[in-house]
Amino acid sequence: MTTTLRPAEPLQQHADGTRARRYQVCVNSRPVGEIHLATVIGTTVARITDLRIEEPDRRRGRATVAALAAEEVARGWGCIRIETVIPAGAEPALNLARALGYTPSARAMVKRLGDVPPELPEGSRARPMTEAEFESWLAKGRESYARSLMSLGLSEEEARAKSRRDHETRLGEGLATEGVRFSVLEHEGTPVGTIWLARADDTPWVLDVGTDEAHRGRGHGRSLMLHAEAQTIADGERTLTLNVRAGNTPAERLYASLGYETTRHVLAKPLL
């Protein structure tokens, strides 16, 4: 029996250069499932956002062949990397991804918050970021993001343009952007770190948190997260979500110690 992909819709081309398409997974032309493939960064990074095989055809290698066929489609699109997003607890899907050579890239984590805002340690306080601090933060953020895009195959010109566009989209009004909060943590009067809170899909997210290099290893990352939780509770929300990159062991340990739980995994694979 031959497992193939059959387009279920026209190729979707977007203004930012990304594309997407749904395919039926077929066995001898008989539909047995569906897979959705999209690019998330121009045409350099593809993502399998959904792969479903109907129950009667599971455990027969259909998903494996469908995923490999999706990789060939992504190569044809010019992609050099492919990702897949898998919910926490979906062990069969995780095992399949690992068997196909995918390795952890990042994960989303969430914490259920209580009703009482946590207090900061003695000597620490958080305050709103100033305009001057924001401009400095923005310049560094754009540069860091651009370099990460270049590592994924974008040219320097493309990466810097995308970094600028994405920051303008999220922060078009700077500190006054609706739903956005930037805070600076001070310890004994000295600024030691920053945190960016925002709403995405109507959910509070920590989008960026960082301790200045000279002040790392002293618990300020925990204080920044406690401040974010206090702000979220004060806003009437009871969950806080974040992403953490694989391999960032200190951050992973910090979030786990604070009670954050993994909700989904992102795994990736180079397309050679």
Residue 171 covered by a domain? yes
What mean pLDDT is reported for the chain?
A: 95
Residue 89 covered by a domain? no
> Residue 200 has what pLDDT?
85
Residues 134 and 56 in one domain: no
Residue 63 covered by a domain? yes
Q: Stretch 213-222: mean pLDDT, rounded?
A: 95
Residues 58 and 149 in one domain: no
Residue 252 covered by a domain? no
CATH classification of the domain holding 9: 3.40.630
Residues 33 and 144 in one domain: no
Indicate if the pLDDT at residue 17 is higher than 70: yes
Tokens of 255: 């979030």
CATH classification of the domain holding 125: 3.40.630.30
**Is the overall model pTM greater than 0.85, yes or no?**
yes
Q: Cα–Cα distances in Å, from 269 out to 5, 36, 190, 202, 219? A: 20, 17, 42, 31, 34
Indicate if the pLDDT at residue 216 is higher than 80: yes
Residues 75 and 124 in one domain: no
Residues 123 and 39 in one domain: no
- Which band of pLDDT confidence, cut at 50, 70 and 90, is reported for residue 1? low
3/131: higher pLDDT = 131
pLDDT 10s digits, 150-198? 988 888 998 999 999 999 999 999 999 999 999 999 999 999 999 999 9
Residues 226 and 118 in one domain: yes
Indicate if the pLDDT at residue 112 is higher than 80: yes
Domain count, the chain: 2
141/272: higher pLDDT = 141
Q: The domain containing residue 179 runs over which residues?
A: 114-237
Whether 85 and 264 have beta carbons less than 8 Å apart is answered as: yes
> Residue 272 has what pLDDT?
81
Distance CA 38, CA 41 (A): 9
Tokens of 24: 């039926």
Residues 68 and 126 in one domain: no
Residue type for position 129: M
Residues 55 and 170 in one domain: no
Residues 130 and 187 in one domain: yes
Residue percentage of the chain with pLDDT more than 70: 100
Residues 49 and 158 in one domain: no
Ranking 28-32, 41-45, 118-122 by mean pLDDT, the lowest is: 41-45
